[in-house]
Chains A and B, each alone.
Chain A
């Protein structure tokens, strides 16, 4: 149950792109065609599924305050958490390199489809963000960390797939010249993010809110402003429709 909850939460409610804006750069740059978007999305799922559990182990057994106690009593007071940024990014950069080499060796066809995206991924904020959120949300077991990595990856994949499909279609609409390309993509992403916020109602039972503070704050705001939101949503949709006309 816990697994299922975390899985859906990381795909829909805490969606990487729409809730935390991670990996926006590649999301905007590589979403012009569905086929390339699928390639990059798959690579992100793959790398997140590897790096989040690895960084979880690193965090548990090396970086956390007192994590070194498995070495002996003398080390129990060490706190290396200030090193977490550098350790996480080093793990990610090495893993990406390693994955690239392994995939090239064993599956040239997969390499050809993922190949060009893998180096890009080392500097994709979604990957580092996955590890940092895993750390700040204090995910408890290795299994949950793996689950969180895959879930976040799928969430990112869905987001880039959706925007790529919309951008392929929007070529046929008459967007105002100054909004073409980047501008309209931003506004569409904003509207999609509003849509994804409605998933926030899926898991609002009891302790879920207590677990993540920022989420419950957001839910508070939603409750307060639900009417204004609807009015705003309508006018936003009208604007979007008008701009499309």
Chain B
């Protein structure tokens, strides 16, 4: 059991897919201007990676290794189409915000990376745990970045104003606080992730690169 729980816990911090393995950066940066979009993206990846890992793991003995990339892509693409259709049906506005980035889950390197590195060589149950763990590790970073960008950029969380009203000057704004609109622009996502990496590696010296 201890071994199985490590599959979930490791990717959350010391083997995080984004900050340590450097996989799946693209979507992590592009859609994190709002917390809600980050959460939905994390859930979508959780679904695709959890199920996809099980499917690949079940088929691992019958996939010829020469065409495995195409097989993997087809499996992911099918799951992503399901996610896309569900989002369009139940959260249309949000699916507009995410636009092409739902489709880009297909080429999210986390997914291919875990298929190659784990699901092709392990039993379905362990692959499932690994998928969930890595998707959670991805989600944690996305949610941290989304939290700070939305809080500092527009003073809201999940669309609810938490710092007062910027126009009527209530709450923090009464003291002259202003929203930093710059946080909403894409380059700040990179810098926020850079700072997260900085903090993480200062706390755990073993992760420092030469």
Contacts and interface: CB of A to CB of B under 8 A. Distances in A.
A84 B103 CA distance: 9
| Interface residue tally on A, bucketed by range | 35 or more
B208 A133 contact: no
B181 A85 contact: no
Given A82-B85, A228-B178, 20 more contacts: A21-B25, A22-B104, A24-B29, A82-B84, A85-B81, A86-B77, A89-B77, A89-B106, A94-B70, A119-B69, A122-B73, A123-B109, A128-B103, A128-B106, A180-B208, A187-B194, A190-B191, A222-B185, A225-B180, A232-B180
B72 to A, nearest CB: 9
A193 B99 CA distance: 21
Interface in B18-49: 19, 22-27, 29-30
Contact of A28 (B22, B70, B80, B209): B22
B8 interface: no
Main secondary structure of the interface of B (DSSP, over half): helix
Contacts of A28: 22, 25
B194 A128 contact: no
Contacts of B195: 187
Main secondary structure of the interface of A (DSSP, over half): helix
Interface in A1-41: 18-25, 28-29
17 contacts: A21-B26, A22-B26, A82-B84, A85-B81, A93-B69, A93-B70, A94-B70, A123-B112, A125-B26, A129-B107, A133-B100, A183-B201, A186-B193, A186-B197, A190-B188, A221-B184, A225-B180
B106 A229 contact: no
Interface in B83-120: 84-85, 99-100, 103-104, 106-109, 112
B19 A125 contact: no
A166 interface: no
B168 interface: no
